[in-house]
Amino acid sequence: MLTLLLAFASCSFTTTTFEDPDKDKLLLQLITYVLEQGHFNPKEINDEFSEGVFNHYLKQIDPFKRYFYLSDIKEFETYKTEIDDQILDFEVDFFNLTYKRLLQRIDESKEIYKGIFSQAFDYTIDEDFNTDYKNAKYVKSKKEMKERWRKQLKFYAIANYHDLILEEEQNLKNDTSYSTKTDEVLEQEARDVALRSLDELYAFMDDRQRKDWFTVYINAIVEEFDPHTFYFAPEEKDRFDVAMSGNYEGIGARLQKRMDNIIINEVISGGPAWRQNKLEVGDIILKVRQEDEEEAVNVVGMRLADAIKFIKGPKGTNVILTLKKVDGTIEDLSITRDVVELEETYAKSSTVIKDGKTFGVINLPKFYVNFQDYKKRNAASDIKKEIERLKAESIQGLVLDLRNNGGGSLPVVVELAGLFIKDGPIVQVKSVEEPKEVLRDRDKSIIWDGPFVILVNELSASASEILAAAMQDYKRAIVIGSKQTFGKGTVQNVLDLNRMVRKNTIGDMGALKFTTQKYYRINGGSTQLKGVKSDVVVPDRYSYIDIGERDQDNPLPWDMIDATNFTLWSSYFDFDSTIKKSKKRMADSEQLKLIDENARWIKKIRDKNIYSLNYKTYKAKLELNEEEAKRFEKISDYKTNLTFKSLPYELVLTEKDSVLKLKRERWHTNLSKDVYVEEALNVLNDLKMTYGKTKVADSNTIKD
């Protein structure tokens, strides 16, 4: 079953093949076929659908409404209810029109912003800037367009101007003989900083090819089905695979495009470049040569995605980089490519002693898996190893931290949940026009049978919600965190579109991630929109911010199906009283009261969209905000008396890897200041275990 779920597409898709010399038309043909045949809730491609694509696409390509005029929009609106017909006919007239016009308007805007930045801003004038771009009207004339740009650029520059003034004040404070710069010089420098930033943005946009903008259009179409259906251009598919597997083959460096230069932004700990210890952050890559080729490829001015193609490569092969070093010297550096593991993707664990008891904490950033080989490293097998190592340290309780975990592999979460129960259902899955399927843990062994707490927040989604919901329904773990988790109750598969093309001579078609299933708790309720409600609700900085599935465009609805029978975990004899004790502690916590106040304040600041462009007023408002923010400084000052420690095997690694050592020290420091982790440990301390009779849940009484 798990092997089948790992497949990215059913055989029915790959038995149907397409052929068209026009790549745009072929791509439209492929995605419409796949979505009509395979999406969990396919939409009718009609006039209403067309209007949704129209609005979403224009918002994507001109979010600040500083390129298109009202006259452009009126011209585009002739297609507002015609896009559906174009999609079904595999035509791209609407895209071609908007793409051509966008390039024209972007080119015109270069002259506008350079002209505005050539003149000083007057910060004594009383005027405001509104950042509510969504409700802004499109401009009617070039005069209005220049005025829109002027206010936007002044808004960018005034922040730089304020920072420079503070810098001058600090310089004078440090050295009373310091000669301060004039307001005119500071104003000029503030504009220069903003100009350089915009020049870099335009350099990036100039790098974009037609295919990049067409990808934006395709995604405006597919995202009308639901917010998690997404088209990956070829380069994006590679990045998705890396993100999910946590590793790739290359040199182990993160790159950044700055103007025409490709710069080393980070050397990844443990990777081949890091082991060689010659590549430095700040080095500029000028040329790239493969070991079996005589000619090097000049990458100056090249798109970052294209340059990466030359630098990455199979394990064991060599790549020769011509570098302009940080000190200005030019040198060639040969690096042997290897598997690069992104450690921040993977599970990590720590021990902590509280009240004479040793507890374990595991942080899981995502439910990762190697798509090519499931048996290779994945989240379930890693968590199992960490628990075995923690048990060797005689832990008496376990915290699994799923905060900010956006999900990942469905088979992995089913396997992982099985580590904590004897056997039984984990999640129910419903596919299009098929009976529900119950995914079960069939392994009767239990890796951890002691007290168990799961930490979640509003950003815990998908697979995180499956695990939290299952453990909550079994009464196996106490869930502590936000009022509800993200609310993503759908499953996506990724289909390599090249598998559907006959005699592909027109290049890589990319891949389509689309919603194929909806999952349900074992008690029958969906986590879609509603998420998982914590047993103990605690405030955090996201409490009043709209970030859940319910705040996305085009989410699928909530519903429920029949529950399935399952056996409640009955080894806690004080489960409910422990939750009551925790709720009481949380209600009395001054730290959490302050966090809640801070969350409300953050909401107020985020909702603000009117800003003064008069510097005195702007500064006064900032100072007022800073004064208000001071009362929340105590949040970061909070400390516990808890000391967290790496496991013995990792202590050996950190002695050899100073970067890993620093990362773990930072993590442990954060844990010791974390009120949520502290409460999780309190709950573990309260939970009392017994091994009595089991209890079978009645599907008629277990409700969401």
**299 and 183 together in one domain:** no
- Please report which confidence band the pLDDT of residue 4 belongs to, taking 50, 70 and 90 as the band edges: very low
Looking at the structure, tell me whether residues 426 and 299 fall in a common domain.
no
The domain that holds 689 is classified in CATH as 3.90.226.10
Asked which of 224, 258, 279 is the last residue of a domain, the reply is 224
| Mean pLDDT (whole number) for 537-563 | 90
Q: Per-residue pLDDT for 698 more than 70?
A: no
Task: State whether 535 and 653 are in the same domain.
Answer: yes
**Better-scored residue on pLDDT, 80 or 298:** 80
Same domain? 358 vs 296: no
pLDDT of residue 7: 39
Q: Is the pLDDT of residue 642 over 90?
A: yes
- Whether the per-residue pLDDT at 48 is higher than 60: the answer is yes
Task: Please tell me the predicted confidence (pLDDT) of residue 545.
Answer: 83
* Residue range 469-490: mean pLDDT, rounded: 96
Q: Are residues 208 and 122 in the same domain?
A: yes
Mean pLDDT of 285-297: 87
Q: 695 near 689, Cβ under 8 Å?
A: no
Instruction: Please indicate, yes or no, if residue 10 is contained in any of the structural domains.
Output: no
pLDDT at 505 over 80: no
Is 702 a domain residue? no
Q: Residue 17: which pLDDT band, with cuts at 50, 70 and 90?
A: low
In-domain check, residue 6: no
Span 101-112, average pLDDT:
97
Whose tokens are 């038995």? That residue is 15
Considering the domain architecture, whether residues 431 and 460 belong to the same structural domain is answered as yes
Instruction: Kindly tell me if the per-residue pLDDT of 570 is higher than 90.
Output: no
pLDDT tens digits, 482-497: 999 999 999 888 899 9
Is residue 21 a part of any domain in this protein? no
- Percent of the chain beyond pLDDT 90? 64
- Count of domains for the chain: 3
Residues 302 and 194 in one domain: no
Mean pLDDT, the chain, integer: 89
Residues 508 and 646 in one domain: yes
Q: What's the pLDDT tens digit per position in 396-416?
A: 999 999 998 989 889 999 999
Alpha helices in 263-375 (DSSP H): 272-276, 304-311
Which residues make beta-bridge pairs with 515? 492
Confirm whether 24 is domain-assigned.
no
Radius of gyration of the chain (CA): 28
Residue at a domain's end among 190, 224, 258:
224
**pLDDT tens per residue, range 132-168:** 999 999 999 999 999 999 999 999 999 999 989 999 9
pLDDT at 2 (0 to 100) = 31
Q: Check whether 179 has a pLDDT greater than 50.
A: yes
Long-range contacts of 116-120 (CB under 8 A, 24+ apart): 116/146, 116/149, 116/150, 116/153, 117/153, 117/191, 117/194, 117/195, 117/198, 120/184, 120/187, 120/188, 120/191
252-274 confidence digits (pLDDT tens): 888 887 766 889 887 876 688 88
- Long-range contacts from 15-19, C-beta under 8 angstroms, 24+ separation: 16/500, 17/500, 17/501, 17/502, 18/500, 18/501, 18/502, 19/501, 19/502, 19/503
Q: What pLDDT, on the 0 to 100 scale, is given for residue 701? A: 36
What percentage of the chain has pLDDT greater than the value 70? 91
Average pLDDT over residues 311-336: 88
Rounded to an integer, the average pLDDT of 43-65 is 96
pLDDT at 480: 97
Domain that holds residue 350: 343-587+640-696
Spatial neighbors of 551 by CB under 8 A, at least 6 apart, are none
Tell whether 323 and 350 lie within a shared domain: no
Residues 92 and 117 in one domain: yes
Assess whether 110 and 192 both reside in one domain.
Answer: yes
- Of the residues 310, 341, 372, the one at which a domain ends: 341
In 240-280, DSSP assigns E strands to 247-250, 253-258, 261-267
> What is the model's pTM?
0.81
Domain membership of residue 574 (yes or no) is: yes
Amino acid 341: pLDDT? 67
**56 and 137 belong to one structural domain:** yes
Q: Per-residue confidence at 186, pLDDT binned at 50, 70, 90?
A: very high
Whether residue 470 lies inside any domain: the answer is: yes
Name which residue leads in pLDDT, 14 or 100. 100
592 part of a folded domain: no
